[in-house]
Amino acid sequence: MLNWNDILNFADKKNPEPDRRVEKTEKEWRSILMPEQFQITRQKGTERPFSSDVCSRFEPGRYECVCCGTLLFDADEKFESGTGWPSFTQPFRENVIAYIRDQSFGMSRIETICNTCDAHLGHVFPDGPEPGGLRYCMNAAALKKVEVVQV
């Protein structure tokens, strides 16, 4: 289980190695993404808080990167943070997200990006529930929900 010290170490030293890499040109990304998805994931945008019903939905499933399909979060790790963005306590696996120090807008934050395709996802904060204490505050437009098929 990751904690805030792990996140800071990744941001300051070296992020975990991804299982694979996906790289496309800006034109290729524009051709496969909706305009809002492109603006958020490829241009580091942020959707308005409470603009998606994903915040209030807690059905079983998993969340993939909308750009490359990398599995990022399990719905079991989702919680109501009251912030207006979907929030998770842990990524699906340690190496699916990369962390970057973000000093934009006069704030000191840790940006989260897809470790496979570098899509901007949101930010992670040290004010989540225990035991890990993390709050992955994600843009809903950066995520694609997939159902888990029970066999």
Give me the domains of the chain, ranges plus CATH numbers: 4-146 (2.170.150.20)
At residue 100, what are phi and psi to the nearest 5 degrees?
-135, 135
Q: SS3 letters for 99-136?
A: EEEECHHHCCEEEEEECCCCCEEEEEECCCCCCCCCEE
Give bridge partners of residue 113 from the DSSP assignment: 98, 120
From the number of C-beta atoms within 10 Å of its C-beta (0-12, 13-18, 19+), residue 83 rates as middle
pLDDT digits (tens, 9 = 90+) for 31-73: 999 999 999 999 999 999 999 988 888 999 999 999 999 999 9
Q: Is pLDDT above 80 for 118?
A: yes
Section 103-123 average pLDDT: 92
Tell me the whole-structure pTM to 2 decimals.
Answer: 0.94
Task: Establish whether 68 is a catalytic residue.
Answer: no
From the candidates 65, 67, 117, 137, which is the catalytic residue? Answer: 137
Produce one character per residue of 7-30: b if its CB has 16 or more CB atoms within 10 Å, e if not.
Answer: beebbeeebeebeeeeeeeeeebe
Which band of pLDDT confidence, cut at 50, 70 and 90, is reported for residue 87? very high
